[in-house]
């Protein structure tokens, strides 16, 4: 599914957070939104998800405006992995993942065997099936992040939206989640994510948008958009871009902040 954001102004009530944004991301592509704290990344995601109404402009899915869509219509197309999720009850991990199946059930419907099979299969693919029967309130923040990604995938969305998907994860799980996102994109999913890690955008995104002061100051391929100059402009620090030789002869681009402590 193609996601288009056309001349979008978004925010809370009458207060605009972002202005006149136009970006698109197609099937089998991923878009990463970079920008400093409080610039409006989550607010943009909430507007795409229909949680907030556009102040001006439109969000289109496969060319159709989502204005007036019901939560069920959004739920069938888009799944969301939020930054933080505080559970009100001690559901089991499997129950949380099964919640992703709700959009495919009738009102008051109960999960069927097929729903359980889908949920268990995703937990296996994410490498966390050993957590299945644990209480969601008694697992670590990083494990919870993996469970939330599983819940979103159980929804079988066409578009997956992730707000800082690697923020709570250890070094290994960050790489695993990024690899998994890359695989899902290769399989045809449309992904939109936010990140505070330029390397993650370089590794996993087809397109990057840089947000500053409510505007998109640059938008395009990660290699073109993520530069020493643009990162200084975005985050106010000097950075050095380095090409690292990977064992398979590929190059990986790294973005290293210039700190006085290096010697
Ligand atoms: N519910 C709300 N009502 C009014 N203003 C809000 C609300 N939530 C966030 N804001 C404001 O909107 C602006 C953008 O916030 P947002 O959470 O979208 O930023 P962000 O780029 O996702 O930040 P971070 O990187 O820290 O997660 C901030 O100034 C914030 O204070």
Other CB atoms within a 10 A radius of the CB of residue 195 amount to 23
- pLDDT at position 248 is 82
Return the best residue to mutate from 15, 37, 43 for the ligand 1 pocket (most ligand atoms within 8 A of CB): 43
| Residue 102 belongs to a domain | yes
Question: How many domains would you assign to the chain?
Answer: 1
**Closest protein CA for atom 6 of ligand 1:** 12
pLDDT along the chain (263 residues), means of 10: 96 96 96 97 97 97 95 92 79 94 76 91 92 93 88 94 90 87 93 96 96 95 96 96 88 88 62
- pLDDT at position 262 is 63
The string of DSSP letters for 90-146 reads: --BHHHHHHHTTGGGS-TTPPP-HHHHHHHHHHHHHTT-GGGTTSBGGGS-HHHHHH
In short, whether 11's Cβ falls inside 6 Å of ligand 1 is no
From the CA of 215, how far away is ligand 1's center (Å)? 14
| Residue 262 belongs to a domain | no
Q: Is the dihedral of CA 139, 126, 156, 84 positive or negative?
A: positive
In short, whether 263's Cβ falls inside 6 Å of ligand 1 is no
**Closest protein CA for atom 31 of ligand 1:** 38
Q: Is the dihedral of CA 198, 60, 147, 84 positive or negative?
A: positive
CA distance 49 to 156: 16
CB 3 within 8 A of CB 61: yes
With CA atoms as reference, report the closest residue to 32 among 21, 40, 41: 41
| Residue 263 belongs to a domain | no
CB 79 within 8 A of CB 155: yes
**Closest protein CA for atom 18 of ligand 1:** 40
CA distance 128 to 122: 9
| Residue 63 belongs to a domain | yes
Return the best residue to mutate from 8, 16, 39, 52 for the ligand 1 pocket (most ligand atoms within 8 A of CB): 39
From the CA of 211, how far away is ligand 1's center (Å)? 13
CATH number of the domain residue 27 falls in: 3.40.50.300
> Token pair 């469970």 is at which residue?
147
CB 77 within 8 A of CB 157: yes
CB 104 within 8 A of CB 156: yes
Nearest atom, ligand 1, residue 36 CA: 25
CA 198 to chain centre: 14
* Residue 223: domain span: 3-257
- pLDDT at position 169 is 85
From the CA of 43, how far away is ligand 1's center (Å)? 6
**Closest protein CA for atom 16 of ligand 1:** 40
Q: Is the dihedral of CA 198, 82, 24, 1 positive or negative?
A: positive
From the CA of 124, how far away is ligand 1's center (Å)? 35
* pTM for the structure as a whole: 0.92
- pLDDT at position 263 is 57
CB 211 within 8 A of CB 34: yes
As given in the structure block, the two tokens for residue 36 are 């400093």
| Residue 159 belongs to a domain | yes
From the CA of 11, how far away is ligand 1's center (Å)? 9
Please determine, for the modelled complex, whether the ipTM score is greater than 0.90: yes
Angstrom distances, CA of residue 231 to CA of 218, 224, 251, 255, 257: 11, 12, 20, 9, 9
- pLDDT at position 2 is 95
């Amino acid at each position: 599914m193609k996601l288009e954001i056309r001349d979008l102004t978004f925010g809370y009530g009458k207060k605009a957070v972002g202005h006149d944004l136009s970006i698109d991301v197609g099937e089998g592509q991923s878009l990463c939104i970079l920008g400093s704290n409080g610039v409006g990344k989550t607010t943009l995601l909430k507007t795409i998800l229909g949680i907030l109404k556009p102040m001006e402009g439109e969000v289109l899915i496969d060319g159709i405006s989502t204005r007036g869509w019901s939560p069920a219509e959004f739920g069938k197309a888009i799944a969301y992995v939020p930054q933080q999720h505080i559970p009100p009850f001690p559901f089991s991990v499997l129950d949380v993942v099964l919640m992703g199946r709700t959009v495919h059930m009738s009102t008051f419907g109960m999960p069927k065997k097929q729903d359980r099979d889908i949920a268990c299969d995703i937990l296996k693919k994410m490498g966390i099936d050993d957590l299945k029967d644990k209480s969601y309130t008694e697992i670590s923040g990083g494990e919870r992040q993996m469970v939330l990604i599983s819940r979103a995938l159980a929804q079988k969305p066409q578009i997956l939206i992730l707000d800082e998907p690697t923020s709570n994860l250890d070094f290994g799980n960050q790489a695993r989640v990024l690899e998994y996102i890359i695989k899902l994109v290769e399989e045809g999913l449309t992904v939109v994510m936010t990140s505070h890690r330029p390397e993650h955008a370089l590794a996993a995104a087809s397109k990057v948008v840089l947000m500053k002061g409510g505007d998109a100051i640059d938008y395009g391929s990660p290699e073109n958009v993520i530069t020493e100059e643009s990162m200084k402009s975005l985050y106010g620090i000097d950075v050095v871009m380095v090409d690292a030789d990977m064992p398979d002869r590929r190059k990986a681009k790294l973005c290293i902040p210039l700190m006085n402590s290096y010697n």
